Structure 1
Amino acid sequence: MLTARGAILLGASLALCALGFMRIDGILITLGGSGILLLGGSWSYSRLNLRKLRLSLRAPTRVYADRQFDLRVLLHNDRKLLDAFGVRIELRLSNQVDIHAFAPWTAANSVAEVRLRGSIPGRSCLAEHGYTMETVMPFGLFLVKASGKITQEILVFPRPLTPRELFTRGALHDASLLPGTTPGNAPGELRGIRPWLPGDPAKHIHWPASARSLSRCRGLRIRENDPPGFYPQHCTVLFHSFGMSGKLIRADRFEWALSLVCGTLRYLRDHGIPATFLADFNHWQPLNVASRISFGHLLDSLARAKRRPDTEAHDLVPELERVPDNHSLIVLSDMPTDAWESTLSSRPALLIDIRQHRYGSKKLQTSDQ
C-alpha cells in the first residue's frame, strides 16, 4: 500500500514523464523514470523485508488476571543472506491486550528479542494469538503487512476476590449442621487478665480481679479470651447460575462470580480447610481442593468455565441435599441471592452476594523494560 510519501513521489514521477514526452525533454523523462524505478525497487524490497519472518512468544502458560508478568516476543529471521530492518509488530494477546513492539534490525538467520512487562485484564483460555508485522523500509514509500498466528496456550485465571462474608466471625462454622456447634459469636478459651484499655466493652470486665486491683489503687481488669479459632472439618463450595424473579442476566457477573469462587477457595486453602467444589458448568462433578496440585486443577477449571444458562431448581436442589451434614456449605452464584435463596429451604449455608464488589478490569498496557 502506498504511503503519503510514495503517492507524492508517484505523482511527481508521472508528471515529469508526461511533461518530458510533451516537450521531448530527456532530462525530465529520466527524472520521472528514475522515480518510477525507485518506487518499484522500494516495493520489491518492502515485500522481501517481511519474507521468512515469524514470531514466537515466551510467556507463562498460567497467570492470574490483572497480575503483571514478564513477556518476550521473539522475531525470527530465517533468511540466510538478507537482514530485516524496521519491522513493527502488533500482537493481540489472549484477544484482550494489544502489544506493540519495534525491531529496528534483525540479522539474517538470527533472532531479535523484545522484552515487555504487562498483564491480561480478564479470564481467558486461548491457544492462538494473532499478530501483524509491517514495514515501510527502505524509504517509507510503501506500507507492507504480513499476518499470522502464534500457537501457545495461556490460561488466565480469574482475579481472586475474597468475599466479605468470610470475615464474619464464625460464619463458616455456623454454616454447618454439625450438632453441638458453638455459635460463632461465643468467646474462646480464657487467655488471661490484662489492664483495661479505652474501647474495651464493659461485659469483658473481670469484676473479682478488678475489685482486688482497685483495692490496691489500680485500674479495672479485663478478661481476655482467645478468638473462637475453630474451623469446620470440611467445606463444600457450590456454584450455580440459577435464578428466579425475572432477574436480569448479566454476562459480566459470571466473571465476578468466578473471581469470588477463586478467592473463597484460596482463603480456605490458606487456612488449611479441605474443600469440595461443585458447579453446574462442571456438570456437578465434585472437585476436591486440599493441596496445591488440586488447587491448580481448580484454577484450570475456572479458566475454561462457560456459563450454563439452563440450570433449574430441580438441578440445584438434589445437589444441595447431597452435601454432608458435617460440611459447611458456601453457595455462590452469578445471580443475586434473593433470586435463588428460597431453594435452600432450612439448610444452613453461607450465601455470597454477587453485588458486594465493584469489580472492573483496569485498562492495562504493556511497557518496554
Structure 2
Amino acid sequence: MSSTPPPNGLPGLTREPIRTNGTRIRYRDRLSRLGLHFLFVALFAIIGGSLRGFNLLLLLAGLLISVVIVQWRTAHTAIRRVHLSRQPLSGGHVGDDVHIRYRVRNLSRFFPTAFVQIEESLVPVDAIDDDEKWSVFAATGSVAPQQSIETSVQCRFATRGAFQLGPLIASTTFPFALSVSERQTVNSEQTIYVYPSLLTLKRHWQRLLPPRPGGDGDRSTTGTNYQGEFYGLRPWQSGDHVRHIHWRTTARIGEPAVRQFEQRHRHQICFIVDGVIPSLANPNQDATPSDEADFEKTLSLAATFISELTKMSVPVSLLVCDAVSETFGKSPLLTVTGSDCRPLLERLALSEQGSVSASQPKQTKFPDPLVDLVTRYASRLAQRDLVVISQRKFRDVMLPTGQGGMPEHRRSPDWLSLARSGRLSWINILSQETERYVQFSQEYVQFTQENARLPRENAGQARPTSAHTPPSAVNS
C-alpha cells in the first residue's frame, strides 16, 4: 500500500509517533516551521535592539512573540473543544472504494474552529517491521459553534487481508499556522478487512450449484413430489427430474422450465475452498505467478457465491482448506443464516495458499489435506449440499493415482455417490464449464497477476475528501 503524502504548504504535519501514557486523551503542542522562523526573527530583533539600543527592534520582537503566544493559546483551546469520532467500518472488497468517515463536532459555545486535520496510521495486522506502515489524512474547513461536520477518506486496496487503523489524531494550526496542537484518542484502533474481489456471474449461474430439494429439482428417481406444494416455475438446472419439466412454458420461452415446489426444509449449502496449490506438491518448489492468480480467483469465486446467496437469505457455510486451517482461532467450519456474510468473507480475506505438506496437520489419515479436512467434519456436513471450489480436478483429488486402494482412503466419504445424487458440485475454476457462467475479465486476470507478488506498500491508496464536495478519484 502506498501512502498519500501530506499536502504541500501545510506546516506542522509530522510522521513522528505520539507516545501515550495510558490516558484516554492526550494533548501535545509544538511549533511549526513557520513558528520557528518567527521566533528566529524575534531573537534577531532582540539581540540587535539590545546591542544597538534600538527600541523599535525590541518593540518588533515583542509583537512577534505575542503573535506566537496568541497562536498557541488559540490552537490549544480550539483542539480541546473538538470532539472527533470515526464511524464504524464494514470492510470492502479488493478494487472497491472503502470510505472511512469522520465526524468533527465543535463543543465551543461562542468560537468557531477551522482547519482540523485528521491523521491515522494504517498497518497490516501481520506486519513485522515499521516499513509496513502508512498514514491516512483528512481535513475539514470551518466548524461553527455547537455544530458538526463530516469528512471522509477514500481508500482502494489492491490486496486482501486485515489492516489495523488508528490511533485517531486530530490537529489544528488555526489561526496563523505558527504552532500545531494535537489531540490523540487512545484505544481508538479498528480493524479493516479487505475481502477478495467480486466477479461477474452470467445468466443461469445457479446451475453450478447443487439443485435445491423439492422446489429446485427433485433428485429422486421416481420424480414424485414429497417435499411440498407446487407454487411456481423456474429455469431448469442440472439434477432436475424430467417429470418436473413444464412443457408449455418450455415451448413458449424456448428453454427448459421446471415446476417449483414449496420447501419444508431450507436449502443449506457449504462451500469448500481448496487452497492447496497443485504445483506445491513438492515442498522445495515455489508457487508460480499463475498459481497465485488462480488462488485469488478461487477465493473471489467463493466470495461472489456467498454474497449472492446471502442476499437471498440462503443459509451458507464455509470450510477452507489452506495453510491456516489448523491455526485459525475460530472453528474452521463457519455458518451464517442471514444476510450478514462478513464472518465468511473475513475468513476468505485471511486465507493463505499452502502446499500439501503445509496445509496438512502432523497426523493425518488421508494423503490429501482436502479429503482429510472434509472427513473430519463429515458429521457436520451430512445435512448440507457441498460445493467444492478448486484449481484441481475432481479425479486428481478424490481418486489420486496409486492411492485408491489404501485402507484409509477407502474410509473417506463416497464422493462419487454424492456427485451422482446431486449433493456435490465440483467447480474447477480452470474448466470451460465454469467460464460459461462466471466472467473472469481480462482486466481482473491482469490485476491479480500484477499484484500477486507486490509488497504490502502497494496494497492501496488513500486521499482526503471534503464533506462539501464529491469524493475525489483514487489512483489504482
Sort the TM-score into its range (normalised by shorter chain). 0.5 to 0.7
SS in 1 for 2:372: helix
Q: Is the 8 A contact 2:196 2:303 kept in 1?
A: yes
Separation (CA, whole Å) in 2 of partners of 1:83 and 1:23: 43
- TM-superposed deviation, 1:144: 3.4
Contact 1:237 1:277 in 2 (8 A): yes
2:86 and 2:206 mapped to 1: Cα distance?
47
C-alpha distance in 2 between matches for 1:363 and 1:127: 15
Say which SS state the counterpart of residue 307 (structure 1) adopts. coil
Describe the SS at the equivalent of 2:140: strand
Amino acid corresponding to residue 302 of structure 1 in structure 2? L
Paired residue secondary structure (2:307) = helix
**Matching residue of 1:32:** 61
Query: Within 5 A, what are the aligned runs for 1:1-369?
Result: 1-51=30-80, 53-59=82-88, 62=90, 64-65=92-93, 73-77=102-106, 84-91=113-120, 98-105=136-143, 107=145, 110-116=146-152, 121=157, 129-149=166-186, 151=188, 156=193, 158=195, 161-162=198-199, 167=204, 170-173=207-210, 184=238, 188-191=245-248, 224-227=254-257, 234-246=268-280, 248=287, 257-269=298-310, 275-280=316-321, 281=325, 285-289=332-336, 291-292=337-338, 295-296=339-340, 298-303=341-346, 306-307=350-351, 310-312=358-360, 314-321=368-375, 322=378, 328-332=385-389, 336-337=391-392, 342-345=396-399, 347=416, 348=419, 349-353=425-429, 356=440, 357-358=444-445, 365=463, 366-369=465-468
- Aligned partner of 1:114: which letter? E
The alpha carbon displacement at 1:37 in A equals: 3.4
TM-score between the two structures when normalised by the length of structure 2: 0.52
Are the counterparts in 2 of residues 42 and 142 from structure 1 also a CA contact under 8 Å?
Answer: yes
Q: CA deviation at 1:248?
A: 1.9
* Aligned sequence identity (%): 15
SS of residue matched to 2:148: strand
What is the aligned-residue RMSD (CA, Å)? Answer: 4.9
Contact 2:156–2:460 under 8 Å retained in 1: no
Instruction: After superposition, give the CA deviation of every residue in 1:186-232 in whole Å (9 maximum; x if it has no partner).
Output: 985433697xxxxxxxxxxxxxxxxxxxxxxxxxxx99442468899
Report the 3-state secondary structure (helix = DSSP H, G, I; strand = E; otherwise coil) of the residue aligned with 2:302: helix
**Could you tell me how far apart the structure 1 residues matched to 2:141 and 2:287 are?**
48
* Count of aligned residue pairs for this structure pair: 330
Secondary structure of 2:178 counterpart: coil
Alpha-carbon offset, residue 317 of structure 1: 0.8
Q: Is the 8 A contact 1:235 1:328 kept in 2?
A: yes
Three-state SS of the structure 2 residue aligned to 1:242 is coil
Give the Cα–Cα distance (whole angstroms) in 1 for the partners of residues 466 and 56 of structure 2: 51
Q: Is the 8 A contact 2:165 2:192 kept in 1?
A: no
The answer to whether the Cα contact below 8 Å between 1:169 and 1:184 also exists between their aligned partners in 2 is no
Change (3 A) 1:146 1:263: same
1:307-335 CA-to-partner distances (Å, cap 9, x unmatched) read 365422554213445387996532235xx
**2:370 counterpart letter in structure 1:** L
Counterpart AA for 2:51: M
Q: Specify every segment of 5 or more residues in structure 2 that has no aligned partner in the other structure, as ranges.
A: 1-29, 125-133, 214-218, 224-235, 281-285, 361-366, 400-414, 420-424, 432-439, 449-458, 469-476
- 1:126-184 Cα offsets, whole Å, 9 max, x none, are 7863322222223222233333356385765736625759956843349x9x6759994
- Higher strand proportion: 1
